[in-house]
A and B are shown apart, each in its own frame.
Chain A
Amino acid sequence: MNLTVGLQHFLVVAALLFGLGVLCLLTRRHVVGILMGIELILNAANVNLVAFSHYGGNMGGQVFAIFVIALAAAEAAVALAILLAIFQTLKSSDVEEMATLKQ
């Protein structure tokens, strides 16, 4: 792979960021840590979309990416509202303690 930046370079950055996001999502105990992993994953997907939009000459990738940004912000707001509601009852933000549906 040559050093002159092309489409593949952006896609590799997005793939590595996706891997870091999945790692964050899987290994964290704090709920906000898991949400940060989700944000990393969504940003990686966005970089992918915008890179294909630029190098493919199509605006659809950027339109999709704007929808992803809006939905990610909405989902972060709702998830953090739920976390605050749970914290008022449980006084803890550890996912290990939020297992009350388990038998």
Chain B
Amino acid sequence: MTVFDIAFYILAVITLGSGAVVALSRNIVHSAFSLLGTFLGVAGLYVLLSADFMAAAQLLVYVGGVMVLILFAVMLTNRIGEVELTNTSKGILPGLLLCGAMAVILAYTVATTSWETVAEPAYRSTAALLGEAFLRQYLLPFEVLSVLLLAVLIGAVVVATKELKSEEEPG
């Protein structure tokens, strides 16, 4: 058991434990904050996989962006005066059975397949390699992604803005 293995198991427990709280908690605010734990655990797993740029992007975008968005949405969509922020789930037992069966089958299949892997996985900085990939091989998807982000920016503002109704002049 090297330090790598111990770190992996700790991060896996953090990630899956937080994911379980997200899926099973009755309080939506508890779920939202546990989602933060999941994102941090996944960022740690990226560091173990030598994906340093991915870990930084995960922290910036997910923890710093999506997490804040979700917390805003949870806090803004509660009726004023409602002290208990509940989120009852419907049919949790059939859901657990179904998703548990699916996850077990998936995990078993994945664990018993002999994947073709590189003998010595390289531990290196990936930012330069990603930059080259984005500007050479994947240039078109990169540009399309920037157009999409512009569309999302405009679209989200348009959808969420309250329309100011102008006063009708009587008769």
Please report A residues at the B interface, Cβ cutoff 8 Å. 1, 3-13, 15-24, 26-33, 35-37, 39-40, 43, 46-47, 50-51, 53-57, 59-60, 62-63, 65-67, 69-74, 76-78, 80-85, 87-88, 91-93
Contacts and interface: CB of A to CB of B under 8 A. Distances in A.
A73 B96 CA distance: 27
Contacts, number: 231
Given A17-B19, A66-B54, A74 B8 contact: no
Contacts of A36: 22, 31-32, 35, 70
Contacts of B148: 71, 74
Main SS class of interface, A: helix
Given A7-B117, A29-B88, A54-B51, A19 B100 contact: yes
Given A8-B111, A11-B111, A62 B99 contact: no
Interface string B93-127: 00110111011101100110001111001100010
Contacts of A78: 152, 155-156, 159
Main SS class of interface, B: helix
B130 A66 contact: yes
A74 B58 contact: no
Contacts of B92: 27
B20 A72 contact: no
A78 B102 CA distance: 29
A32 B73 CA distance: 7
A32 B70 contact: yes
Given A69-B61, A80-B73, 19 more contacts: A6-B117, A11-B110, A19-B99, A20-B22, A20-B23, A27-B91, A27-B95, A28-B89, A32-B28, A33-B31, A36-B35, A39-B62, A43-B39, A47-B45, A57-B121, A63-B134, A81-B157, A84-B76, A92-B79
Contacts of B79: 91-92
A20 B19 contact: yes
Given A40-B23, A76-B69, A32 B42 contact: no
Given A19-B100, A53-B51, A66-B130, A76 B5 contact: no
